[in-house]
Structure 1
Amino acid sequence: MSRTAPINMRVEPSQHALLTKAAALLNKDRSAFILDVACREAENVLLDQRLLQFNDKDFKDFEAALTAPIPENAKLKALLNEESPWEK
């Protein structure tokens, strides 16, 4: 079994109360709640980091693909012109 690492923090009483109340609504203890929320947000932050690095030729190819006209697609056009289920 792997060892755990401690995380300690000091919070304002109002923050403590807020976290305690939210954790209770989810039937979690405060530490589990904070860890779940912090890890979810950390994953979102990491997933939002999109850095594309290209050499000159690859960038030109990428840019050309982005700016090229979209080919005609009859099936997609029909789907987009179809009435949505909630509009029926």
Structure 2
Amino acid sequence: MPTKSASEISTHPVNLRVRDDVRVLIDRAAKAHGKTRSDFMIDAARRAAEDALLDQTLVQVDPESYKHYLAVLDQPPSGEGFERLMSVPKPWQA
């Protein structure tokens, strides 16, 4: 698939109302990263959008696998690792 050149990519304005203290914070962070306010905000918004979409993972399994999964979750914790974790002194009980 051919890529578009910079002159072929269209951009659209997005207007935001932001408190002065938030704008100052964004400007400081943008300057620390060597970016403009717009570039910094676009990068941050894009990352947040990707994270929001990636957090919506759908896993589909057959009914038998789902029953097995629920059965495993319903079992009480056990094993060497669990026993070791439970035997560690609690900081709030010291």
**Same fold by TM-score, threshold 0.5 exceeded?**
yes
Structure 1 gaps of 5+ residues are 68-88
What is the aligned partner in structure 2 of residue 52 from structure 1? 59
The one-letter amino acid paired with 1:10 is: R
What is the aligned partner in structure 2 of residue 61 from structure 1? 65
Count how many residue pairs are aligned between Structure 1 and Structure 2: 64
Percent identity of paired positions between Structure 1 and Structure 2: 39
Structure 2 gaps of 5+ residues are 1-7, 73-94
What is the aligned partner in structure 1 of residue 18 from structure 2? 11
- Aligned-residue RMSD, C-alpha: 1.9
Runs of 4+ in 1 over 6 A off after TM superposition: none
Whole-Å separation in 1 of the counterparts to 2:25 and 2:69: 49
What TM-score results when the alignment is normalised by the length of structure 2?
A: 0.59
What TM-score results when the alignment is normalised by the length of structure 1?
A: 0.63
